[in-house]
């Protein structure tokens, strides 16, 4: 499966901005109606972008429903879900405690099946059933839509890395492949450690998305360590935060990425048609390939 | 290599466990929790040694240090048990629910020359550290007023199921949220001499506070206002913000960004100018070797680990957020429960801790004036 050069991200829609709370709040206001999100996605589609890398936020369910009901307008458009939307779980843990939160999120659909898988898992202290249940509950919103890659979010990947909970990665990878026919992807702030762990867990040539930028912003362990794994390890790198939330001018940021030919794709967020088109134009120029269709 | 045990495998405990697990100088020697199920899963998949009795872990796991992330009401006994055994302690905030207990623990740890640290992670946030640097450089001159805020979406409905919904267990916006901006105020302005106009309001909770407001007064005439609300879901996650007004300018800071306005009268530090200067976390944050949820969480544990290594070699260490510092924050927290302008009520027990603190401060003041 080939990854598109440009993947459209969704942080900008949900009040995430690593530079400014003010900007984050402004964008939360601007995008509080899902129609405003869809308008921007339509601009990205018109500019030739076909991959939408999105959190499993409740609002994304509305975007998915829109695409599902207008298939003629979104030929070739794919969702690359990133799960879970962590704040939903973190807030639930604060409110209900660890196990309370887990119960809260077990799906009601196919209740008997869920209870069987979850119940057996609970009794055997076996996480396979729980992991697959949680994945299925997050994937419900994408039914009937193409999801070629399914990502595990960095907060979960990185938590599991530190805990050395290797088995969770292979359980996730196997389930995503077998049930959804999708490639598993892993988002991390700790690329070298993630590669070591995924290798131990038996996940071969994994798709791994991590911060890579000229400022070394959230490049844990430093650029030299990242350059070394790019040169020596077998994996499919996706770069995120290449502009470091706007701290690096676009051309300078993308030239830095272009100098690392191993990087297959770039995730970028943008809130306006002009910004999307400018990014597409710059990538076409620097990579010498066509994105606009 | 230092051996650390973790007590409490809740949200913070698990996060600390992961950061310690990734630290090259740390061996996680055990995890203790009262909830056996989660421990069984961790043991089965990660091989970590599990305990359900903290004292047993302290006695048998051959620990250099322990990290305590249990509900706050249990901190005093657990910290005391660790200190008694000569074990260095990192404790989640607040250190305890009683200023007197916190001061006693701080004194005990100092006497035993043990490394202590409390999880006030904001002191490891790049922007908040820059504020401290600017204040020490006198960039905005004498601070006359501060506003310390924290907002976020914790309690959004009446029914609470965990310890966080009961003040007696250490739950509530005062202990859980206000502790952070109060700790930053302590870092920037020192210990206040008065707390007045304290409001511990309820939005949803039945057994604790959801909002905290009040005014802190300082010996030099400065004052600060605290505004905290943990039932505000217009914030995606906890947001802590500090604003400081001084003779020569003002500073606004949150985790992402610091905005500094300097008057013409200000002596301008390197990298700043008269008028506005804005700096972001992208430039101010030092990278960490392992990242989970924010650089500050790794940075604070890395600091603790290095301090314990130095202590083990018989060297001195640089204390940040030690028990003595956290005890000052606990004194202020307690004063919000018993503010200076409160009308005495017969049904409330007398607040021992802060009166002792107030007496000590009065003594210091009279020394200064003598």
Task: Tell me if chain A has a CB within 8 Å of the CB of B317.
Answer: no
* Candidate from A166-175, A215-224, B118-127, B173-182 with smallest mean pLDDT: A215-224
pLDDT at A20 over 80: yes
Nearest to A20 among B9, B41, B257 (CB): B257
Task: Please compute the mean of the pLDDT values over residues B322-329 and round it to a whole number.
Answer: 98
Task: Please compute the mean of the pLDDT values over residues A143-158 and round it to a whole number.
Answer: 97
Task: Please compute the mean of the pLDDT values over residues A253-280 and round it to a whole number.
Answer: 97
pLDDT of amino acid A103? 67
pLDDT of amino acid B354? 40
Q: Taking a C-beta distance cutoff of 8 angstroms, is the pair B181, B149 a contact?
A: yes
Asked if the Cβ–Cβ distance from B257 to A19 is below 8 Å, we say yes
Interface test with B, best of A85, A125, A168 (most B CBs within 10 A): A125
Give the mean pLDDT of chain B.
Answer: 92
pLDDT of amino acid A133? 87
Architecture of domain B2-121+290-322: 3-Layer(aba) Sandwich (3.40)
B24 contacts: CB under 8 Å, gap ≥ 6: B289
The C-alpha angle with vertex B178 and arms to B362 and B75, in degrees rounded to 5, equals 80
pLDDT at B275 over 90: yes
Asked if the Cβ–Cβ distance from A222 to B46 is below 8 Å, we say no
Task: Tell me if chain A has a CB within 8 Å of the CB of B342.
Answer: no
pLDDT of amino acid A118? 56
Taking CA–CA distances from B45, the nearest residue in chain A reads A165
Residue B143 pairs in a beta bridge with B246
Nearest to B38 among A98, A218, A245 (CB): A98
Per residue in B71-106, pLDDT (tens digit) is: 999 999 999 999 999 999 999 999 999 999 999 999
B241 C-beta neighbours (distance < 10 Å), count: 18
Interface test with A, best of B33, B292, B294 (most A CBs within 10 A): B292
Task: Tell me if chain A has a CB within 8 Å of the CB of B154.
Answer: yes
* Per-residue pLDDT band at A106 (split at 50, 70, 90): low
What contacts 24+ positions apart, CB below 8 Å, involve A169-172?
A: A169/A197, A169/A198, A169/A201, A169/A203, A170/A201, A170/A202, A170/A203, A171/A127, A171/A128, A171/A131, A171/A132, A172/A131, A172/A135
Residue B153 pairs in a beta bridge with B231
Architecture of domain A6-84+127-287: Alpha-Beta Barrel (3.20)
**Fold that domain B123-284 belongs to in CATH:** Dihydrodipicolinate Reductase; domain 2 (3.30.360)
Same fold, B2-121+290-322 and B123-284: no
Give the mean pLDDT of chain A.
Answer: 90
Asked if the Cβ–Cβ distance from A159 to B15 is below 8 Å, we say yes
Per residue in A197-219, pLDDT (tens digit) is: 999 999 999 999 999 999 999 99
ipTM for the predicted complex: 0.91
pLDDT at B161 over 70: yes
Length of chain B measured in residues:
370
pLDDT at B132 over 80: yes
CA distance B81 to B105: 11
pLDDT at A117 over 80: no
Which B residues 90-119 touch A at CB under 8 Å?
A: none
Task: Please compute the mean of the pLDDT values over residues B203-223 and round it to a whole number.
Answer: 95
Nearest to A190 among B160, B291, B295 (CB): B291
B112 C-beta neighbours (distance < 10 Å), count: 14
Instruction: Tell the burial category of A252 from Cβ atoms under 10 Å away from its Cβ (0-12, 13-18, 19+).
Output: exposed
Please state the domain extents for chain B. Answer: 2-121+290-322, 123-284
Task: Quote the pTM value.
Answer: 0.91
Q: How many CB pairs under 8 A join A and B?
A: 133
Task: Tell me if chain A has a CB within 8 Å of the CB of B320.
Answer: no
Please state the domain extents for chain A. Answer: 6-84+127-287
Residue B117 pairs in a beta bridge with B90
* Per-residue pLDDT band at B370 (split at 50, 70, 90): very low
Give the residue with greater pLDDT, B342 vs B334: B334
Helix (H) or strand (E) segment spanning residue A88: helix A86-96
Q: Taking a C-beta distance cutoff of 8 angstroms, is the pair B175, B167 a contact?
A: yes
Which B residues 213-272 touch A at CB under 8 Å?
A: 236-237, 239, 241, 254-257
How far apart, in Å, do the first and last CA atoms of chain A sit? 20
Nearest to B45 among A161, A167, A220 (CB): A167
CA distance A29 to A25: 6
Per residue in A33-82, pLDDT (tens digit) is: 999 999 999 999 999 999 999 999 999 999 999 999 999 999 999 999 99
């Amino acid at each position: 499966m080939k990854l598109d050069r440009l993947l459209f991200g969704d942080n900008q829609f949900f009040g995430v901005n690593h530079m400014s709370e003010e900007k984050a709040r402004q964008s939360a206001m601007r995008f509080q109606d899902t129609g405003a999100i869809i308008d921007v996605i339509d601009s990205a589609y018109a500019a030739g972008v076909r991959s939408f890398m999105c959190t499993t936020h409740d609002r994304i369910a509305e975007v998915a429903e829109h695409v599902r009901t207008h298939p003629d307008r979104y030929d070739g458009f794919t969702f690359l879900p990133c799960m879970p939307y962590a704040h939903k779980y973190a807030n639930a843990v604060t409110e209900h405690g660890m196990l309370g939160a887990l119960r809260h999120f077990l799906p009601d659909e196919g209740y008997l099946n869920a209870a069987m898988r979850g119940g057996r898992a609970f009794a055997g202290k076996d996480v396979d059933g729980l992991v697959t249940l949680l994945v299925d509950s997050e994937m419900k919103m994408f039914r009937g839509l193409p999801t070629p890659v399914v990502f595990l979010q960095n907060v979960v990947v990185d938590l599991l890395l530190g805990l050395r909970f290797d088995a969770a990665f292979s359980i996730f990878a196997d389930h995503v492949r077998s049930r959804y026919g999708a490639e598993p992807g892993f988002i991390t702030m700790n690329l070298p450690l993630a590669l070591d762990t995924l290798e131990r867990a038996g996940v071969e040539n994994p798709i791994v998305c991590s911060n890579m930028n000229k400022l070394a912003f959230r490049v844990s362990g430093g650029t030299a360590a990242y350059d070394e794994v790019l040169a020596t390890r077998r994996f499919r790198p996706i770069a995120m935060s290449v502009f470091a939330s706007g701290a690096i001018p676009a051309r300078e940021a993308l030239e830095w990425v272009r100098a690392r030919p191993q990087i297959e794709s770039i995730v970028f967020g943008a809130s306006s048609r002009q910004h999307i088109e400018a990014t597409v134009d710059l990538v076409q120029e620097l990579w010498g390939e066509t994105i606009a269709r | 290599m230092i051996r650390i045990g973790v007590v409490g495998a809740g949200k913070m405990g698990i996060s600390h466990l992961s950061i310690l697990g990734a630290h090259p100088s740390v061996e996680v020697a055990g995890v203790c929790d009262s909830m056996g199920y989660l421990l069984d899963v961790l043991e089965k998949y990660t091989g970590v040694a599990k305990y359900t009795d903290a004292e047993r872990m302290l006695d048998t796991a051959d620990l250099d240090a322990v990290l305590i992330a249990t509900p706050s009401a249990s901190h005093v006994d657990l910290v005391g048990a660790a200190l008694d055994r000569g074990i260095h302690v990192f404790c989640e905030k607040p250190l305890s629910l009683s200023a007197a207990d916190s001061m006693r623990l701080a004194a005990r740890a100092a006497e035993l020359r043990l490394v202590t640290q409390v999880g006030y992670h904001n002191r490891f946030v790049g922007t908040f550290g820059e504020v401290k640097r600017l204040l020490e450089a006198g960039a905005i001159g004498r601070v006359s007023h501060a506003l310390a805020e924290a907002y976020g979406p914790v309690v959004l409905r009446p029914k609470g199921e965990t310890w966080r919904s009961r003040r007696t267990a250490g739950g509530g916006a005062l202990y859980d949220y206000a502790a952070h901006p109060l700790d930053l105020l302590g870092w920037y302005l020192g210990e206040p001499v008065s707390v007045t106009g304290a409001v511990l309001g309820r939005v949803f909770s039945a057994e604790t506070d959801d909002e905290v407001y009040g005014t802190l007064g300082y010996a030099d005439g400065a004052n600060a206002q605290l505004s905290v609300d943990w039932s505000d879901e217009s914030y995606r996650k906890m947001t802590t913000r500090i604003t400081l007004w001084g003779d020569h300018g003002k500073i606004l800071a949150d985790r992402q960004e610091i905005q500094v306005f300097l008057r013409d009268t200000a002596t301008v530090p390197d990298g700043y100018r008269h008028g506005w200067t804005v700096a972001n976390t992208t430039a101010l944050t030092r990278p960490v070797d392992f990242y989970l949820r924010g650089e500050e969480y790794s940075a604070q544990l890395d600091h603790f680990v290095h301090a314990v290594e130095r202590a083990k070699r018989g060297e001195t260490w640089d204390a940040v957020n030690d028990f003595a510092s956290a005890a000052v924050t606990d004194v202020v927290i307690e004063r919000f429960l018993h503010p200076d302008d409160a009308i005495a009520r017969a049904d409330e027990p007398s607040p021992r801790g802060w009166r002792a603190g107030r007496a000590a401060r009065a003594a210091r003041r009279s020394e200064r004036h003598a």
